Amino acid sequence: MTQPLIELTDLGFAWPDQAELLDIPSFTLERGESLFLKGPSGSGKTTLLGLLGGVQKAQRGHIRLLDEDLGQLSAGARDRLRADHTGYIFQQFNLLPFLSVRENVELPCRFSRQRAERARQRHGSIDAAAAGLLDHLGLRAEWLERRAGALSIGQQQRVAAARALIGQPELVIADEPTSALDADSREAFLQLLFAECRAAGASLLFVSHDQSLAPLFDRSLALGDLNRAARAPEA
């Protein structure tokens, strides 16, 4: 039986001097699965994504990514695991505006030899991998050397997705990446994102307030259904 890509058990997290924000008895994300995760602002969605990426460390419980227990790793080891195996699409995209489109997409390959090697194996070179992903996501070759700061919101979104997908990471995390787009653009972008994740065999964890997107995913969950802290009665 295949091990889940992500497995959480008895996860607990609180920010300093605050009540516990997350209390999750169990959660799994299967390999190749697309999951829609919803929850109101302040419910801990972004904190959970930070824990899954190894940016923060839980106070109790276990997070296993690719059968590695993140709580047992040093901060440097968590950084390396994230660089090698996780692609992240941020709500504000977080592109480097002074770099070109191509340079932004290729950044993960500078930090991860594994992703650089996967990009070369699949596409022949890192440059070809970046160009191929951007083409699939609807950005023409003439945009490759333009500065990222000159792009429209929709174009920046596609560059951010290509950066997350290059080098075939096993996990793609998307934190409200479609909030600035209209309904038609959102659905078109998601179909492209799903196609690239399937081609790479990647799992997709997608966080959004937009419940209308949920039927497009393999599975939909509300963070409140997972998180006992959200259901705890107020004092």
What is the distance between the alpha carbons of residues 96 and 27, in angstroms, rounded to a whole number? 34
CB proximity list for 124: less than 8 A, separation 6 or greater? none
The predicted structure's pLDDT at residue 232? 56
Q: Indicate if the pLDDT at residue 192 is higher than 50.
A: yes
CB of 49 within 8 A of CB of 66? no
CA dihedral 108, 169, 63, 215 (to 10 degrees): 120
98 inside domain: yes
Q: Rounded to whole angstroms, how far apart are CA atoms 163 and 130?
A: 8
pLDDT score recorded for residue 235: 37
Amino acid at the residue 226? L
- Record the tokens describing residue 218, joined without a space: 């393999």
Contact 12, 20 (CB under 8 A): yes
User: Sign of dihedral through CA atoms 10, 28, 171, 87?
Assistant: negative
- Whether residue 163 lies inside any domain: the answer is yes
Sheet holding 22-29, edge to edge: 22-29, 6-13, 60-65, 68-69
**Is residue 216 situated within a structural domain?**
yes
- To the nearest whole percent, how much of the chain has pLDDT over 70? 97
**From CA 172, how far away is CA 13, in angstroms rounded?**
22
Which residues share a beta bridge with 35?
205, 219
Decide if 201 is inside a domain. yes
72, part of any domain: no
Mean pLDDT (whole number) for 123-152? 90
Instruction: Share the mean pLDDT of the chain.
Output: 90
* Domain assignment of residue 121, yes or no: yes
Q: Lowest-confidence range among 68-77, 112-121, 186-195?
A: 186-195
Q: Give the pLDDT score at 131.
A: 93
Range in 54-63, 105-114, 138-147, 197-206 with the lowest mean pLDDT:
138-147
* Among the listed residues 139, 141, 195, the one whose alpha carbon sits nearest the alpha carbon of residue 172: 195
Identify which has the larger pLDDT, 209 or 223. 223
Residue with tokens 């951010």: 160
Tell me whether residue 126 is in a domain: yes
User: 7-43: per-residue pLDDT in tens?
Assistant: 999 999 999 999 999 999 999 999 999 999 998 878 8
Indicate the pLDDT class of residue 234, thresholds 50, 70 and 90: very low
Here the CATH number for the domain that contains residue 180 is 3.40.50.300
On the CB side of 92, CA atoms within 13 Å amount to 5
Please state the pTM of the whole predicted model: 0.90
Q: Whole domain around residue 185: which residue ranges?
A: 34-55+84-222
Question: Domain tally for the chain?
Answer: 1
Residue 204 lies in a domain: yes
